[in-house]
Amino acid sequence: MRPGAWEVAAAVPDPELPIVTVSDLGILREVAQDGGSVTATITPTYSGCPALAEITAELRHRLVAAGYLEVEILTRLSPPWTSDWITAEGRRKLAAAGLAPPQAARRHSGSVPLTLLAARPAVSCPRCGSARTARTAEFSGTACKALYRCDDCLEPFEYVKEH
Amino acid sequence: MTQHDSPFDLLARDDEDHRWAFGTGFTDPLAGVDTAVPEGVDAKALAAYCLMLGDDALIFSHRLQQWITNLPELEEETAVANIALDLLGQARMLLARAAGADPSLAPPVLAYPQEDRLAFFRTESQFKNVRLAEWADGDFAELVARLLIFASWRLALFERLRDTADPVLAAIAAKGVHELTYHRDYAAGWVVRLGEGTELSHERMQRAVVALWPFVDELFIDHQAELVAPSGVRGEVDAVLDTVFELAALDRPQVAALGAVAGRRGRDGAHTEAMGYVLAELQSVARANPEATW
């Protein structure tokens, strides 16, 4: 008896943020199972994200290892991924790992207004909960995170950007 | 014991060791995407336009990559590296889309995927990027000024391309809008900080804007292949730049545009001297070792 294809696919960790899975992040959109064949659909996050090739390989690997003979991984570009798709469980895991989860994404159908300072409301410190934090860099180790510092507990932390 | 014809069979096998060399299995960035060109869309025109936008991103990304390890602070290293990565990702998808819609664009170097053939095996006159993309930044002020101009212009184009008839290009644009918004705001923040900073930083920021201004007009010249007329976004881009210049206490330059060469500019394959150096660095390994994999 094979485990369910969704459960297998959903357990694949994100290569950059292994504390959360591809389903927590909303990257895994759909898993269709027909007997021994599976079609999994994913939506990439950032255009140049190098994790995508790794995620595709890992999905295929785990599904094959679970006994599915035919595995197809489809990429869906539209609608584009948004951080709003990160689940409540995913947000809880991020915060528990010291990463501030994203605020609601700003959506613009027309032209995007220029924002210079105070682009987003205060981000709370994932360690002490203080709202007295300051952004130190809009880009951190990866494109999807910004770097912050807490002015109360003085610890630096990363914020997963709204996108 | 399992028999193998070649020890490389073991490397290619998809087992627990499939991560043996990350990145070696580079796949088509549009793998698994429905890439049929819809009825009513001119495939040649679509390909020509994707090539222009892809070349802009590829060459601009390469110039940003050259900054890595030379930036003033670690935070700027990560920012510029991430921006370069976003643009490289856009380039890969756009070049793959161009070659998919018009396979005659890609030089016949069959060992390579189409996007790589376009990147590594075209000659200078076959690159259709605007000349702003190939400029070698003399200092950090030029980097942020060039990024501000480029990202503001590209964002305005991508906003409109979200509604274009080809669903693949529309999806690439929709994704790119979020990325370019961050790029523009990052660059604008630095232009304001330097423009409003010390006497010296102000002077160098103003000098950078003047140095780059000759490349601006070319961005808005209409070309037959474009699905969004660049002349139509000039007002929006000017408004953004004027806002930033005012906050940065910078004067909008009054300098002549860079001329055409026998009527040809970047979009026609006529480039500045800087382009040859970019391509030499970008292409030499692939051309010297066409069988190499990495």
pLDDT tens per residue across span B12-39: 444 444 443 333 445 677 877 888 888 8
Q: Are residues A18 and A49 in the same domain?
A: yes
At residue B200, the pLDDT reads 98
pLDDT at B150 over 90: yes
- In chain B, how many H helices and how many E strands? 9, 0
Q: Are residues A125 and A62 in the same domain?
A: no
Q: Is residue A101 assigned to a domain?
A: yes
Residues facing A145 on adjacent strands: A160
Q: Specify the CATH number for the domain of residue A26.
A: 3.30.300.130
Percent of chain A residues past pLDDT 90, beyond the cut: 66
What is the distance between the terminal CA atoms of chain A, rounded to a whole angstrom? 40
pLDDT in tens, B75-134: 899 999 999 999 999 999 999 999 999 999 988 877 778 888 899 999 999 999 999 999
Chain A within 8 Å of B201 (Cβ-Cβ)?
no
**Comparing C-alpha atoms, which of A22, A78, A106 is closest to residue B175?**
A78
ipTM: 0.84
Q: Are residues A71 and A126 in the same domain?
A: no
At B8, the pLDDT band (50, 70, 90 cuts) reads very low
Q: Which domains does chain B have, with CATH numbers?
A: 41-288 (1.20.1260.10)
pLDDT at B7 over 50: no
- The Cα B200–Cα B187 span in angstroms is 19
Q: Are residues A94 and A62 in the same domain?
A: no
Cβ atoms of A9 and A31 within 8 Å: the answer is: yes
At residue A119, the pLDDT reads 66
At residue B135, the pLDDT reads 98
Q: Which residue matches tokens 């180790």?
A: A141
Residue-number span of the structural domain to which A71 is assigned: 5-75
**Comparing C-alpha atoms, which of B14, B45, B46, B94 is closest to residue A73?**
B14
Say which range, A133-142, B167-176, B247-256, has the weakest mean pLDDT.
Answer: A133-142
Residues of A in contact with B247 (CB under 8 A): 116
Q: Is residue A45 assigned to a domain?
A: yes
Q: Angle at which helices B274-288 and B43-65 pack, to 10 degrees?
A: 100
Cβ atoms of B241 and B149 within 8 Å: the answer is: yes
B89 and A76 within 8 Å at the Cβ level: the answer is: no
- The Cα B234–Cα B225 span in angstroms is 18
3-state SS of chain A is CCCCHHHHHHCCECCCCCCCECCCCCCEEEEEEECCEEEEEECCCCCCCCHHHHHHHHHHHHHHHCCCCEEEEEECCCCCCCHHHCCHHHHHHHHHCCEECCCCCCCCCCCCCCCCCCCCCCCCCCCCCCCCEEEEECCCCCCCEEEEEECCCCCEEEEECCC
- The Cα B27–Cα B283 span in angstroms is 19
Q: Is residue A26 assigned to a domain?
A: yes
Please give the tally of structural domains in chain A.
2
Chain B within 8 Å of A113 (Cβ-Cβ)?
no
- The Cα B238–Cα B279 span in angstroms is 31
pLDDT at A107 over 80: no
pLDDT in tens, B32-71: 788 888 888 999 999 999 999 999 999 999 999 999 999 9
Residue B5's Cβ-count burial label (10 Å; 0-12, 13-18, 19+) is exposed
Give the mean pLDDT of chain B: 89
Q: Are residues A92 and A70 in the same domain?
A: no
**Comparing C-alpha atoms, which of B131, B129, B102 is closest to residue B117?**
B102
Q: Are residues A35 and A61 in the same domain?
A: yes
> Mean pLDDT throughout B245-265?
95
Residues of A in contact with B167 (CB under 8 A): 78
Q: Are residues A100 and A155 in the same domain?
A: yes
At A117, the pLDDT band (50, 70, 90 cuts) reads low
**Residue of B175, B193, B246 best to disrupt the A interface, most CBs of A under 10 A:** B175
At A1, the pLDDT band (50, 70, 90 cuts) reads low
> What residues 94-153 of chain B have any CB closer than 8 A to a CB of chain A?
none
Q: Quick one: tokens of B262?
A: 């026998």
